Structure 1
Amino acid sequence: MTWRELLMEGKNILTAGKIEDAEPDAWLLLEYVSQMDRARFFLRQQENAPEENIRQYRDLIRQRGSHIPVQHLTGTQEFMGLEFLVSPDVLVPRQDTELLVEKLLPLIQGKKVLDICTGSGCIAIALAKLGVPKLVEATDLSEKALEIAGRNAEKLGADVAFYQGDLLENISAKYDIIVSNPPYIASEVVGGLMPEVRKHEPLMALDGGADGLVLYRRLLEQVPSHLEQGGIFAVEIGYDQGKAVSELFRKHGFERIECCKDLCGNDRVVMGSLNER
């Protein structure tokens, strides 16, 4: 069997299994097995694939066909041009979250930054690597998530300090910028998510309570006492939560509140400055 035939087999199996993104996933798994980029694949596509690679690829395609996320099969996900390690213990970094990082990068030079609910560490590490902050620290409730985040920081050479705790319970310092991508999906919606998410990503990183806003309320009760005067708080939000989250910001003393939309025109980020006291 040639490499091209093997790729077509994988694509056809995933398509027949109604796997979303069947074609790119079939390619990503072949790239992972063969360690070939596309240019090299096109040069070698008519060559016979080694039997060991065929077996490995078919096994991965079988697992992907059972809705295991492709990122869990390869163990990595790209975010802001950086390759992050992932596992079922963390939310897979998503392109939606890149907007949050992009909004903050111009603001963090020389600033003290805290990332809450850090998960894989993608936000904190991207800010530390791509910006020039004074310091970056991050928290998460999950010990297993912090283990992945620590490995990512070491792998990518990012200077980030991690702390375990429920939101800000173990944090005493003040920061210039606090950022968070908390769980924001309403509980009743979680059960209807695609199986890749519902069955294979941590529930605590998804479920935002009855209306999806529980963590925002808790954060906004705690964050102001940990922000320097004029400090900025920024969060990722669900596609239809801009108005509700902006109102919560306003209620807790924030001004210059901005609701930013993603490329699809959906609400994605809310950020604001704390009234100087």
Structure 2
Amino acid sequence: MIYNSNNIPAIHTYKDAVRYGARVLKQADIDNSDYDALELFLYVTGIDRTTYLINATDEIDNEALRKYLGYIIKRSHHIPLQHIMGYTYFYGRKYIVNEHVLVPRQDTEVLVEEVAKLTTADSRVLDMCTGSGCIIISLASLGHTYSGIHGAVGVDVSLDALEVAQNNKDINNVPYVELIQSDMFEALEGSGMKFDVIVSNPPYIPTRVIKGLDEEVRLHDPFIALDGDEDGLKFYRIITDKARDYLNKDGYLCYEIGHDQAAKVSDILSSYGYNDIRVIKDLAGLDRVVVARYYGTSVRSGRYNI
């Protein structure tokens, strides 16, 4: 039995534990406190939601309760739920996450859906700034990339992130996904690689904005994966420019964007000779994805600053 200093009733059952956990998290201003309290309980006990509902009045053993309350304390300190558990789910598949990668978010599933509309089992796809690998691995798992050499490639500057992506590649059984450490396209120079689609969820938050982000993002997501430089557009400019050397004729460049960046990213794409530019909204009705096509024009402009 567990009591706290405020003489809260003893915790006997599964339901008691989850209710107490939710109360602690709510007092700590954790969003979705009920959801997180239950998720941590399921993580500790190894049961699913149905089992919990059926056995909610079962007695919880002391060791499980001790672990659970320890995780509740961590979560109350605003350590992300996914970092505590070490994994999350994205596009129906499990992904390992830690402090070296952005936690995959539902918004990015819109990007995967849009790329899936443009690809088949014969498509060669490059995921620039791959992080956890969730985008390229999802596409490969869907059968929307070529399964031969250079058919599904993920690039990231961070070796720590690529280690996470390698683990995710293994657990999702897509051995042909290639992971390359590179600062943007540097390691691909002279490789002869060409792709039908280049997709990216690059760092796009202006540096000055990062300090005002939610604590869980600001303190626990890797800064390198957030910082889009002064105006948040640095990597869109670089990728849009360099991607032309790696896209097949009539290939597509697909971005996730910040909700207020559609016009500026579209202007960057247009300035570098891309056409058929489309903006797609996420489930909340916010601009989230930009898709453009490159027809291989011979007109080449220099770096363009919006």
Please give the range of the TM-score, normalised by the shorter of the 2 chains.
over 0.9
Return the alpha-carbon distance in structure 1 between the equivalents of residues 220 and 144 of structure 2.
35
Does structure 1 retain, via aligned residues, the 8 Å contact 2:244–2:296?
A: no
Secondary structure, counterpart of 2:163 in structure 1: helix
Among 131, 139, 142, the residue aligned to 1:127: 139
Return the alpha-carbon distance in structure 2 between the equivalents of residues 219 and 38 of structure 1.
43
Deviation, structure 1 residue 228: 0.8
Among 199, 211, 214, the residue aligned to 2:234: 214
Does structure 2 retain, via aligned residues, the 8 Å contact 1:113–1:178?
A: yes
Among 135, 139, 142, the residue aligned to 2:158: 142
Q: Does 1:165 align with 2:176?
A: no
Deviation string 1:220-248 (CA, Å, 9 cap, x unpaired) is 12111111111100010000100000010
Specify the alignment match of 2:97 in structure 1. 86
* TM-score, length of structure 2 as denominator length: 0.89
The 4+ residue runs of structure 1 with deviation greater than 6 A are none
Q: Which amino acid aligns with 1:144?
A: D
Secondary structure, counterpart of 1:18 in structure 2: coil
Alignment of 1:24-43 (within 5 A): 24-43=35-54
Among 123, 139, 148, the residue aligned to 1:111: 123
Among 192, 199, 218, the residue aligned to 1:179: 199
Return the alpha-carbon distance in structure 1 between the equivalents of residues 296 and 177 of structure 2.
28
**Unpaired stretches in structure 1, ≥5 consecutive residues:** none
* TM-score, length of structure 1 as denominator length: 0.98
Specify the alignment match of 1:269 in structure 2. 289
Does structure 2 retain, via aligned residues, the 8 Å contact 1:100–1:236?
A: yes
Deviation, structure 1 residue 119: 0.3
Deviates more, 1:41-50 or 1:243-252: 41-50
Return the alpha-carbon distance in structure 1 between the equivalents of residues 236 and 202 of structure 2.
8
Larger Rg: 2
RMSD after superposition: 0.8
Return the alpha-carbon distance in structure 2 between the equivalents of residues 247 and 155 of structure 1.
39
Q: Which amino acid aligns with 1:38?
A: R
Return the alpha-carbon distance in structure 2 between the equivalents of residues 17 and 125 of structure 1.
35
Return the alpha-carbon distance in structure 2 between the equivalents of residues 54 and 223 of structure 1.
52
Deviation string 1:132-186 (CA, Å, 9 cap, x unpaired) is 3212011000000000000100111013000001111111311111000001011
Does structure 2 retain, via aligned residues, the 8 Å contact 1:108–1:131?
A: no
Return the alpha-carbon distance in structure 2 between the equivalents of residues 249 and 132 of structure 1.
24
